[in-house]
């Protein structure tokens, strides 16, 4: 099933020559605008937020951006796209399109995971097989073999807020399922089944409610039992695994279970000290900026990072950055001039 080409540069509103800094800046602006927790049209914003995140995941990663750029600039957004030959070898598992256990080709398509089919084809784990359940009884004809369905794997994008609160997501998977007319045998009354043409399997889209537990971590695999590839000859189905990929956040960087937030300070706040409000993934907290704070100082707010399944939550690390006003009025300039005359501060000594 071909995917639709995604123009990640267009999505982030940057030229193909954009610098890493420009890409980050544009991502943060758009991600703030469309963050599902703040946008008014929540459902629409969520789709957009995930699209922006997908684009940023690719363009902010030099290796992924390079691979993406290798596709060339002539693709139109929305054009029918198939991964060029050789792409599979770049993904760790690869292995799609898959073969149903009866030899029928099935490509797995995921809906509701937050990643497009295009992303999954190029960078994702979609349709990867774990290779378990490969029980091949010798001496039997393949048509009569009982074989557990293989496990399938896809990626799921989880926002940091979801990671804190936990959530339930609706995920749909299009995959091969036993033909209801012949029960997966491919035969009906000693003839080839005319519903499935003798393959024993039909493509089917199933939608599952998947629980995202609070405290999920990047790369964690969520197991949805029995929702993988159908078994043959009445054997059990494989499992569906969803690999968690934490969405990038406009305000926070993630380091292990800690969140890093850069807090801009006015010069007088840095000199005199201040109490400022900083965002967290739930409600903002007030923190004390000590007098004489420099750019790059780190202030730790315990327990306001990401939850941890096997231990205490991570911390919020506030990194200060002193900013100066770019424009001053005449009276303000006089005050700064007066300060310059009075001060004994010599930053270069």
Number of residues binding to Zn ion, judged by CB under 5 A: 6
Q: What is the DSSP letter of 158?
A: E
Q: How far apart are CA 322 and CA 173, in angstroms?
A: 49
Least spacing, CB of residue 233 vs Zn ion, in Å: 13
Least spacing, CB of residue 146 vs Zn ion, in Å: 17
Q: How far apart are CA 161 and CA 43, in angstroms?
A: 16
Burial 238-276 (b: 16+ CB within 10 A, else e): bbbbbbbbbbbbbbbebeebbbbbebebeeebbeeebeb
Is 181 among the residues that bind Zn ion (CB under 5 A)?
Answer: yes
65-73, 174-182, 216-224, 265-273 -> range binding Zn ion (CB under 5 A) = 174-182
Enter the tokens of residue 303.
Answer: 């327990």
Q: How far apart are CA 206 and CA 138, in angstroms?
A: 33
Nearest CA-CA partner of 298 in 257, 251, 262, 347? 262
Least spacing, CB of residue 172 vs Zn ion, in Å: 23
The residue among 144 and 268 lying less far from Zn ion, judged by its C-beta, is 144
Enter the tokens of residue 269.
Answer: 């706040």
The residue among 125 and 179 lying less far from Zn ion, judged by its C-beta, is 179
Least spacing, CB of residue 26 vs Zn ion, in Å: 51
106-114, 175-183, 239-247, 250-258 -> range binding Zn ion (CB under 5 A) = 175-183
**Rounded to 5 degrees, what are φ and ψ at 19?**
-80, 165
Residues in the chain, overall count: 349
Least spacing, CB of residue 186 vs Zn ion, in Å: 6
Residues 193-222 that bind Zn ion (CB under 5 A): 193, 195-196
Q: How far apart are CA 148 and CA 138, in angstroms?
A: 15
Q: Which of 11, 125, 182, 270 binds Zn ion (CB under 5 A)?
A: 182
Least spacing, CB of residue 193 vs Zn ion, in Å: 3
Is 177 among the residues that bind Zn ion (CB under 5 A)?
Answer: no
60-68, 72-80, 162-170, 189-197 -> range binding Zn ion (CB under 5 A) = 189-197
Is 230 among the residues that bind Zn ion (CB under 5 A)?
Answer: no
Binding site for Zn ion (CB under 5 A): 179, 181-182, 193, 195-196
């Amino acid at each position: 099933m071909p995917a639709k080409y995604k123009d990640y540069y267009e999505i982030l509103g940057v030229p193909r020559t954009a610098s890493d800094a420009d890409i980050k800046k544009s991502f943060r602006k758009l991600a703030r605008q469309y963050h599902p927790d703040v946008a008014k049209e929540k459902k629409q914003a969520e789709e957009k937020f995930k699209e922006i995140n997908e684009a940023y995941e690719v363009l902010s990663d030099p290796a992924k951006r390079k691979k993406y750029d290798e596709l060339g600039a002539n693709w139109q957004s929305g054009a029918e796209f198939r991964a060029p030959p050789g792409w599979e070898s770049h993904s760790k598992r690869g292995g799609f399109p898959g073969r149903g256990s009866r030899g029928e080709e099935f490509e797995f398509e995921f809906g509701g995971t937050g990643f497009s089919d295009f992303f999954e084809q190029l960078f994702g784990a979609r349709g990867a097989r774990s290779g378990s359940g490969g029980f091949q009884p010798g001496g039997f004809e393949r048509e009569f073999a009982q074989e557990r369905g293989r496990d399938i794997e896809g990626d799921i994008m989880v926002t940091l807020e979801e990671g804190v609160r936990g959530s339930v997501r609706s995920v749909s998977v299009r995959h091969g399922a036993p033909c209801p007319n012949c029960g997966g045998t491919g035969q009906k009354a000693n003839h080839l089944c005319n519903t499935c043409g003798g393959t024993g399997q039909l493509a089917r889209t199933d939608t599952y409610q998947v629980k995202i537990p609070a405290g999920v971590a990047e790369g964690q695999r969520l197991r949805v039992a029995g929702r993988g590839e159908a078994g043959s000859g009445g054997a059990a189905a494989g499992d569906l695994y969803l690999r968690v990929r934490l969405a990038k956040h406009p305000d926070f960087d993630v380091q292990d279970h800690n969140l890093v937030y850069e807090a801009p300070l006015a010069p007088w706040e840095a000199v005199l000290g201040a109490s400022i409000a900083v965002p967290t993934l739930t409600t903002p907290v007030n923190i004390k900026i000590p007098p004489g704070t420099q750019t790059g100082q780190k202030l730790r707010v315990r327990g306001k990072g990401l939850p941890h399944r096997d231990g205490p939550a991570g911390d919020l690390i506030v990194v200060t950055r002193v900013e100066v006003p770019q424009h001053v009025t005449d009276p303000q300039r006089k005050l700064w001039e007066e300060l310059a005359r009075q001060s004994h501060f010599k930053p270069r000594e």
